[in-house]
Structure 1
Amino acid sequence: MTAAVPPALRAQRRRRTARTVAFLSPWLIGFAVFFAYPLGATVYYSFTRYDLINPPEWVGLQNWRYVFRDYPYLDKALRNTLWLVAIMVPVRVLFGLGVGMIAVRLRRGANLFRTLCYLPFLAPPVAATIGFVFLLNPATGPFDQFLAGLGLGDVGWFNDPQWAKPALTVLAVWGVGDLMVIFVAALVDVPREQYEAAQLDGAGAWQRFRYVTWPAITPIVLFAVVTGVIQTMQYYTQAMVAGKVASGIVGAPGQSFEPGYPDGSTLTLPQLVYEEGFSTFDTGAASVLSLILFGIAMTVTALLMRRRAGLLGDD
């Protein structure tokens, strides 16, 4: 038999629980309003026919069958999104880490170097994308003219399906200042005594990085990769603006634009969600696409959070 809990102790536990819930209430309210309710509504709307005007009509699995069986753009958008996750995220992380290591090692002009590397990150995404499209224009862009002067030939960049995603990756690397700042803070925090001990033991530059620097910054690398995956799964603005500008569409009356120019190479899942939800007002299909995007992002993030799956932890 278990002893009865005294009433005074029960009252104390209730007060402690109420106090804990009171402190957690801002987070609980935010979680319920900005995550739980939108996610539940998205799941519900994925089983309905809803155009944002008329009341939702329950249609069961019709939207899911349409998206997976009849929707013509899902495969291409999914491949493009996964390509960006697999290529853009590692390139940005490695480049940000390299720039951060250079910034830490500089003895003169370190502050100027960090400022110059961070400034591109502050540029508005739309303005930066427009500037890059004109810079890499195959006809009048100065970069292509420079390549032509070297005899390397013309590169289509945002007008070539094979080069559009690499061009977006170059744009993402250009704005790597956010990762540089994070890695600089992590690298500065590595104990100098460990470097000195490793150097006394005869460790070279690569060995010091592998056995001293890397274990110390592994949590920061994991953070950069996970947040990079989440951001890239939501990749919308740069791809949409680049396609519009490169195709010559400026949003004038009477002009129509099909996302993904050129030839669907820059089409991403967030673009499909927007097009279905706010262009064709097919909220059911848009909800299905949103849940697919959410499921992929959660799966990839869960794999990365496991040290062995993410290849970021110790052996």
Structure 2
Amino acid sequence: MSANPEDRAGEQPCDYRNVLPRDASDYDRGVVEWGLAAEEQDWLRRQRREWEARCGGGPRSAEELVDRHTIDVVPARWARFGEHLPFETEGQARLSLTRRTVTDVARECRVSGAWLPLLVTSFAWGWGTRGFGPTRLSWILNGRGSFPGLPLTEVGNRLAAAVDALDQQGARASYELLLRVAPVRGFGPAFFTKFLYFASRADNARSGALILDARLAGQMRDCWKRRADQPYAVNGPAARWLWRGPRWSSLRYQIYLAFMCRAAGQLSESGARWTPELVELLLFRGGPGEPPGATVSRN
């Protein structure tokens, strides 16, 4: 496949050596430095071609392929949060939200300094058409039973602090803040990494947060398992424990970011430019170890 000229433009994928934490174990460091096996690279390149075909065919830039990823939502279900949403909640049965749309919300939040719209929009995007999402978000914002929610001003302050940590210190620091330092009850890593991801997309400095949920952690677990007989893994814990969620440590999150940077760099060596977020998107849709037809998709 010939590369789109635009796909060669812009900054190159991040260098995993600048992301890999110094306190990484031998097992983690070995997997990241090894990177993707040849068959895993081939699988991802096939997935990219298939995704390009779904986006109209022909080589397309990594950014465009990610921008055009859509999730269907049922607008009426989110009516109670309408003031924070970028779409009308009446008059349409379903709506397709693209990553670009959610990123535009993040850009507006960076201008206004108010981050609740991104929390609500990224949550709706992540939940899709499943009916329980609005109830879960209500628990986060308003509390549940004997567990009162934080005042919305405090939720906004904690989100703003996480974005500031993201911009000033990096993704691991912002992750740690929302995980342990200043958490929002019920707002766990699977969804607050979506918030951080879109906040980082809206930053021209590309501060580099990525989504990590159970599906992606499962792909990492399987990848680590495929390397479990390597010398660097001999004394390490089992992969199923390393990637056990749902509250992965900030170290685990940083290891994940390093691996995705390594993967994007390897794949870019063949011509077309890759980004860690494109690797994330394609890995979520299905992993190299899965049989044909087993792909799961956000849409």
TM-score by length of 2: 0.26
TM-score (norm 1): 0.25
Higher helix share: 1
The structure with the larger Rg is 1
